[in-house]
């Protein structure tokens, strides 16, 4: 097989046409009745052909993206989730140059993060307890009954 020749320009054109229709390189070669080894030789030796094959795969990938988007817009929740995870809305993504959006936890160790979580949970529990102990009219503080002047 080492004496196999690269694909001719006409064969390259036809093969790319089959691939654009979704055929694998092997299936496209079978349609054209050419040895798949010639495809691989041409791919390795012809930069223009290699770039064209990459463009075909990019175009096919865009078809999948379009289908995913269409499914998301038709209400498919899994497609919506996948779309938003892989293509987040820029306004929802913190910007690296925005100091107000910086990730304040990126330099913590696991132990430090767990300690921070414990502190936050304790603060939250205290705030909930204080809120539960305060009357709705706000007349008492900390759950203690209001003081009445001695009379």
Average pLDDT, stretch 108-134?
77
Cβ-based burial of 40 (10 A; exposed 0-12, middle 13-18, buried ≥19) = middle
| Angle made by CA atoms 19, 24, 26, in degrees to the nearest 5 | 115
Sketch the domain layout of the chain as residue ranges.
9-86, 99-133
In angstroms, the CA 44 to CA 109 distance is: 47
Tell me the pLDDT tens digit for each residue of 8-41: 999 999 999 999 999 999 999 999 999 999 999 9
Cβ-based burial of 83 (10 A; exposed 0-12, middle 13-18, buried ≥19) = middle
Global confidence as pTM: 0.55
Tell me the pLDDT tens digit for each residue of 99-109: 655 555 567 77
Average pLDDT, stretch 125-139?
68
What is the chain's mean pLDDT, rounded? Answer: 82
Q: Which residue has the tokens 């921070």?
A: 116
């Amino acid at each position: 097989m080492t004496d196999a020749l690269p694909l001719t320009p006409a064969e390259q054109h036809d093969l790319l046409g089959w691939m654009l229709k979704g055929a694998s390189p092997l299936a496209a070669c079978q349609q054209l009745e050419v040895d798949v080894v010639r495809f691989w030789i041409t791919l390795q030796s012809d930069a223009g052909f290699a770039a064209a094959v990459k463009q075909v795969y990019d175009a096919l990938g865009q078809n999948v993206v379009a289908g995913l988007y269409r499914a998301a817009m038709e209400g498919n929740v899994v497609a919506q989730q996948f779309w938003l995870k892989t293509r987040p809305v820029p306004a929802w993504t913190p910007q690296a140059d925005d100091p107000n959006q910086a990730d304040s936890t990126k330099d913590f160790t696991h132990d430090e993060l767990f300690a921070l979580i414990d502190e936050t949970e304790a603060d939250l529990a205290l705030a909930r307890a204080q809120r539960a102990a305060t009357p709705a009219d706000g007349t008492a503080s900390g759950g203690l009954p209001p003081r009445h002047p001695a009379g």
